[in-house]
Amino acid sequence: MNGNTRNTRNVHNIETMGTTGNTGVAEVVRMRTLKAVPPGSVIVVGSGPTGLLLAGDLATAGVPVTLVEKRPHKISNLSRAFVLHARTLEQLDARGLADGLERKGQALDRIRLFGGLTVALDTLPSRFNQLLVIPQYEVEKALQRRAEDAGVRFVYETEVTGLSQDADGVILEVRGREGESGQLRAAYVVGTDGMRSAVRAAVGLSFPGKSVIRSVVLADVRLDEEPESVLTADAVGDAFAFIAPFGDGYYRVIGWHRGRDVPDSEPLELDEVKEIARLALGRDYGMRDARWMSRFHSDERQAPAYRVGRVFLAGDAAHVHTPAGGQGMNTGLQDAANLSWKLALVVNGHADTALLDTYQAERHPVGKSVLRSSGGIVRLAMAKRPWTLALRAGLTTFLNHVGPARRKAAGQITGIGYAYGAPRGSHRLTGTRVPDVALEIGRLYEALRGGRFVLITPEAYDDRQDRKDRLTVERWAGDRRTTVLVRPDGYVAWAAESADPAAIEAAVAAHVG
């Protein structure tokens, strides 16, 4: 299927590009005639957290990866995300990054959503029974180092202007910072290039939805008074405000006032931010020395498809929603964790391309659910009419007193409550998330490092097919008798209460290749 291809005067090819750093197309390409698509190569467009995790995973699995980014080689501290939830921390643990990030962030064991509604996290069935407050740029730094160490090739100051694809691969039309044009080619392309995704536009996908909140204000400021909590958030009347620390003496302030509906281009003064904070929080904590201020609007949108032929979407290119609950960056990182191992198996010749269809089947419903939950939170937080206030009060009472409902809400916000569909007749565990269980030697999420499947058995099992590059065999630490094959993203691929070596081999061959 062809996308919107831009005709260019100078044809470049990046097949042999190996330069890392602040580079544009003209400095890294070699003038060559386009040949057949190199087997097993992937281009990732967009170097936010989603793109960096995905590219690092692919390169770790031996897939040649080029990451294209239109910005200069600089990680911005102007990011809006400040939260890592339990499921994302588990995914980062499987990549050896969680402990380092925990040392840089601040942990919270509960979330206050609005009014008296509190979601406790200290009872989560996870090693990370908490929420980690940490700026997005710290996550990006850790993921970028990992991607660079794995051999990802970066091309900066280069934007996508068009795309075409056929049965053999994808060709991206790109433009560098000096206006020079070029072509990049690969077997697959993944667009992780945000809400205004050029990749999504190039394949002709719509992005239906609407703006939910206009004129949200952001400011990075110093405070004369330290807030009582690591995260400070509340909504009163027509105003909402949120404060979180950067860790360098500055705080990110996000605010909104129902009566102040102006375009994003309207100038923003610190006095407006302080006024919103006083209305919502009761005081402005002595905000001063703003180093950056801006307005933005919050949309709820989702692409109808996450895959078009050999092109995929992940993160904000696939779905955007309100920041309520801090689920945005987390959902994108989990998109990447789901897609990366599937792409690696296919391009390395260990799985049929039909495996790639499961990305849409598994992640699109999750994106839809996040849109609903985050939208519901923000609407209830900003409730004003008597019937919505009554609904909020009733829901608060219900969740605070009904354990199963409260646990379900916590599982949805933190990501650990999601499971994927399983074929009819599968074991009840198939498709479910596996916690960090103890193994005879070590623990599961250490065994998952390297992007491998993990086969956990009650008895020793000899993998005679030499799949050590993508399969680790472990035994339970206790006397459990279930045999479980865990996918690289920590979900059950197959399980059986009792299985002989032939049944195990058949399951491993079907999933691992």
- CA-to-CA separations, 16 to 33, 47, 93, 104, 460, in angstroms, rounded: 12, 20, 33, 37, 44
Closest C-alpha to 495, from 455, 462, 439, 449 = 455
> Would you say residue 114 has pLDDT above 80?
no
Query: Half-sphere exposure (CA, 13 Å, Cβ side) for 87?
Result: 29
Closest C-alpha to 174, from 45, 323, 329, 32 = 45
| Mean pLDDT calculated for residue range 164-193 | 93
> Would you say residue 164 has pLDDT above 90?
yes
Per-residue confidence (pLDDT) for residue 4, from 0 to 100: 40
Closest C-alpha to 210, from 129, 304, 88, 298 = 298
Where residue 400 falls among pLDDT bands split at 50, 70, 90? Answer: low
Per-residue confidence (pLDDT) for residue 466, from 0 to 100: 80
Alpha-carbon distance 123 to 130, whole Å? Answer: 9
Question: b/e for 337-356, b at 16 or more Cβ within 10 A?
Answer: bbbbbbbbbbbbebbeeebb
Which 3-state string (H, E, C) describes 214-238? EEEEEEEEECCCCCCCCCEEEEECC
In the chain, % helix, strand, coil (3-state, to 5) comes to 30, 25, 45
> Would you say residue 187 has pLDDT above 50?
yes
Query: Half-sphere exposure (CA, 13 Å, Cβ side) for 379?
Result: 15
Extract the runs of DSSP E, i.e. beta strands, from 351-457: 453-457
The partner residues of 163 in beta bridges, in order of sequence, read 172
**What does the mean pLDDT of the chain come to?**
86
Alpha-carbon distance 96 to 145, whole Å? Answer: 12
In 111-233, alpha helices (H) = 136-150, 198-202
| Mean pLDDT calculated for residue range 134-138 | 90
- Mean pLDDT is lowest, of 18-27, 106-115, 440-449, for 18-27
Closest C-alpha to 470, from 326, 342, 322 = 342
Closest C-alpha to 136, from 101, 181, 100 = 101
User: For residue 305, how far is the Cα from the chain centroid?
Assistant: 17
Which residue has 């990992």 as its token pair? 146
Residues whose CB falls within 8 Å of the CB of residue 202, separated by 6 or more in sequence, listed in order? 3, 4, 160, 162, 163, 311
At residue 84's C-alpha, the angle toward residues 486 and 60, to 5°, is 45
Residues whose CB falls within 8 Å of the CB of residue 235, separated by 6 or more in sequence, listed in order? 114, 241, 280, 381, 382
The residue with greater pLDDT, 359 or 377, is 359
Per-residue confidence (pLDDT) for residue 405, from 0 to 100: 66
377 near 384, Cβ under 8 Å?
Answer: no
Residues whose CB falls within 8 Å of the CB of residue 297, separated by 6 or more in sequence, listed in order? 211, 213, 214, 215, 216, 264
Alpha-carbon distance 24 to 41, whole Å? Answer: 20
The residue with greater pLDDT, 17 or 241, is 241
| Mean pLDDT calculated for residue range 131-158 | 94
- Mean pLDDT is lowest, of 6-20, 113-127, 149-163, 381-395, for 6-20
Percent of the chain whose predicted confidence (pLDDT) is above 70: 84
Alpha-carbon distance 68 to 143, whole Å? Answer: 15
Structural domains in the chain, sorted by start = 25-77+137-207+303-364 (3.50.50.60), 83-134+383-418 (no CATH), 210-301 (3.30.70.2450), 444-512 (3.40.30.120)
> Would you say residue 480 has pLDDT above 70?
yes
| Mean pLDDT calculated for residue range 196-212 | 94
Q: How many CB atoms lie within 10 A of CB 5?
A: 16
> Would you say residue 511 has pLDDT above 50?
yes
Per-residue confidence (pLDDT) for residue 209, from 0 to 100: 93
Per-residue confidence (pLDDT) for residue 381, from 0 to 100: 64
> Would you say residue 396 has pLDDT above 90?
no
> Would you say residue 380 has pLDDT above 70?
no
Q: What is the pTM of this model?
A: 0.88
